[in-house]
């Protein structure tokens, strides 16, 4: 009974840890329309991802069909707090994120060297689309994953150790009872 309780408590702690830290993974710096653009407050310097939201049930937007992207002549313009243009780096692979009823695809990443208000706008993009900016969280996610694996492994090893001790004591008690 004790090993099972140790294992269940450990898994409960791991579940609480995951739930408690999940908020950081869905955190955005800001969101707004592609035209006329929006200002986002970036609190920490570092890499950030520009997301194009393709479907949001809460905002009653219809889902797009095919691979979502901005119109062909669209040009993303990001300006730092000093008004200088910040280059948007697009990769060959496209990331997708889904949180609840909200789905978005990455348009690319940019480096914010200083915290402050950044202006994001799409020129020549046709109808306004919903965009958002979020910090890149690969290191944070890996740290959470390692911690969760450690909590689960630690509780499993502790439960096995408790089971081993329990079985040895039970075997010793049986030997004493039988007079060995």
> Are the beta carbons of 19 and 26 closer than 8 angstroms?
no
Secondary structure (3-state) at 13:
helix
Which band of pLDDT confidence, cut at 50, 70 and 90, is reported for residue 58?
very low
Residue, of 66 and 28, whose pLDDT is higher = 28
pLDDT for residue 116? 92
Poorest-pLDDT segment among 12-21, 60-69, 88-97, 114-123: 60-69
pTM of the model: 0.68
Which band of pLDDT confidence, cut at 50, 70 and 90, is reported for residue 60?
low
pLDDT digits (tens, 9 = 90+) for 154-168: 999 999 999 999 999
Taking residues 43-57, report their average pLDDT.
82
Half-sphere exposure of 78 (CA within 13 A, CB side): 25
Examine the pLDDT at 96 and tell me if it is beyond 90.
no
Examine the pLDDT at 153 and tell me if it is beyond 80.
yes
Examine the pLDDT at 68 and tell me if it is beyond 80.
no
φ and ψ at residue 49, rounded to 5 degrees: -110, 135
Taking residues 65-92, report their average pLDDT.
75
Q: How far apart are CA 80 and CA 116, in angstroms?
A: 8
Q: How far apart are CA 46 and CA 103, in angstroms?
A: 24
Which listed CATH number (2.30.110, 3.40.190, 2.60.120, 3.30.70) goes with 34-136? 2.60.120
Taking residues 107-123, report their average pLDDT.
90
Residue, of 127 and 175, whose pLDDT is higher = 175
pLDDT for residue 161? 94
What end-to-end distance do the CA atoms of the chain give, in Å? 27
Examine the pLDDT at 75 and tell me if it is beyond 50.
yes
> Are the beta carbons of 108 and 49 closer than 8 angstroms?
yes
> How far lies 77's CA from each of 59, 109, 118, 167, in Å?
25, 12, 10, 67
């Amino acid at each position: 009974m004790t090993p099972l309780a140790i294992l269940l408590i450990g898994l409960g702690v791991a579940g609480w840890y995951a739930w408690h830290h999940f908020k950081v993974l869905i955190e955005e710096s800001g969101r707004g329309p592609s035209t006329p653009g929006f200002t986002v407050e970036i609190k920490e310097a570092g890499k950030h991802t520009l997301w194009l939201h393709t479907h949001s049930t809460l905002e009653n937007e219809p889902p797009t069909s095919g691979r979502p992207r901005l119109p062909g002549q669209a040009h993303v313009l990001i300006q730092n707090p000093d008004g200088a243009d910040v280059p948007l780096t697009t990769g060959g692979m496209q990331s997708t994120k889904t949180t609840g009823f909200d789905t978005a695809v990455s348009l690319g990443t940019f480096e914010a060297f200083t915290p402050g208000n950044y202006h994001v706008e799409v020129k020549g993009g046709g109808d306004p689309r919903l965009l958002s900016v979020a910090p890149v969280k690969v290191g944070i996610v890996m740290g959470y994953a390692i911690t969760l694996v450690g909590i689960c492994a630690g509780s499993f090893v502790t439960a096995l150790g408790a089971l081993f001790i329990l079985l040895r004591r039970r075997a010793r008690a049986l030997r004493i009872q039988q007079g060995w």
